[in-house]
Every structure is written in C-alpha cells, then in structure tokens.
Chains A and B, each alone.
Chain A
C-alpha cells in the first residue's frame, strides 16, 4: 500500500502512524522532519514541480516496497509557507520486522532529498534566499545505490 501526498495542510502524524499500523506488518518506522530555526529563519517556503513531485515520491515508495517487502509506505511533504517547528515531511514504513521498516524509512528520506523536485526558500527579516544543494545529502542518497 502506497500513500503519497503533497499538501499545504498540517501533517497529522498520529493518523498516518495509525494507518501504517493497520497495514498488517509487525513493525512500523517513521521519520518526521521539522522546520529548523537556522540562524533566525522566520519563514520557510517550499516550492515544488506538480505532478513530477508526486511521480518521484511514488517511484521511491514503490522501490522501497519492492526492495524491503514492505506492507506499506507513506510519504507526505508540505509545500507553501511554514514557520520553525512545523512538520515539513513525514515518511513512514510498515514491514514484518524492524530492520526492513527502519532501513526503508532511512532510504525514503535520504533519496527524497535528492530525487524529488522540491525547493526551499528561507526568509530572515527582509532577506529571502533559496537554499543550496548539500554534498552531505548527495552522499546520504548515494549510499543506497547498488
């Protein structure tokens, strides 16, 4: 079962975990990313490439389900304007056992960062700037290549 959502609404983690727990596995793992207050960020704006984003996330979820024999995978990403502390991304997996659930969860968030067309813009006072690519994100995604 794959659940993908790109939304400007708040992410309900409890509801998403509940759905994963009903998927029939013995293990559920999840990752929640929050907007950081990096050096006084007041607003984080998320832009995306509609349709291409959903396709990229669906492809990643399908790969994770096949590679780790998951019962379910959920990827939810916020777009639009957010403030520090808000949930920006949720990744959840359900599998028979913990190793598959945990590994697949790490795979999904690592690869999402390099494969899905989202862009972040940080605003501090009057200064708005687009976030640049990070080599550490590239390295984290590369470790899942095989």
Chain B
C-alpha cells in the first residue's frame, strides 16, 4: 500500500500531538476502522485519541464516510470528533 496523508482535528489532533503525518499501513488493513486500530496500537496519545471508535468520525479523500469504508487507493484520510460548527 502507498503512503497515506493522515489528518487529525480537534481533540484527536491534541491527544496525538500532531495534525498531519504520512504513514504506510500494512496491506491487510482494508477499512478505516482497521486503520484506527493500527494507529491506536502505537499507544500513548494515539491510544488515548483513537481507543474508542464510537467517538470518531472519518473522511477519505475529503468525503465523509462510515468507519467500515474501504481505504483502498486512499490518498488522504482524516480522523476527527463529530463536527460542532455553526
């Protein structure tokens, strides 16, 4: 799998400590939920931010998707809490 741009927002960004990184997930990771588990296994701020998937939302290539969405071919994946604008 090619490298993916990962973006984090709001408290996900604060817990992880960075807003952007590039990563290359193992080929067996098929969906956003799998990516979240893989990142959370890094521990520390990743585990804190990504340990409870019910609190997370995601976008693949800037399109909002459910967590069971495929990440095949994705170039940019964003992980964040439910939105609170307006």
Contact = CB atoms under 8 A, between A and B. Distances in A.
Contacts of B17: none
Interface centre among B11, B81, B82 (most CB of A within 10 A): B82
6 contacts: A49-B9, A89-B85, A117-B78, A117-B80, A119-B81, A130-B10
Interface in B47-86: 59, 62, 64, 78, 80-86
Given A52-B78, A55-B62, A116 B10 contact: no
Contacts of B10: 47, 119, 121, 130
B7 interface: yes
Contacts of B11: 130
B59 A113 contact: no
B9 to A, nearest CB: 6
A81 B84 CA distance: 15
Contacts of A109: 86
Interface residues of A, number: 28
A120 interface: yes
A112 B81 contact: no
Interface in A69-119: 77, 88-89, 109, 112-119
A126 B83 CA distance: 24
Contacts of B9: 47, 49, 117, 119
Given A49-B7, A119-B9, A121-B10, A133 B84 contact: yes
B62 A52 contact: yes
Interface in A31-55: 33, 46-49, 51-52, 55
A132 B84 contact: yes
Nearest to B19: A47
B84 A119 contact: yes
B86 A117 contact: no
B83 A119 contact: yes
Contacts of A117: 9, 59, 64, 78, 80, 83, 85
A134 B80 CA distance: 16
B62 A116 contact: no
Contacts of A51: 62
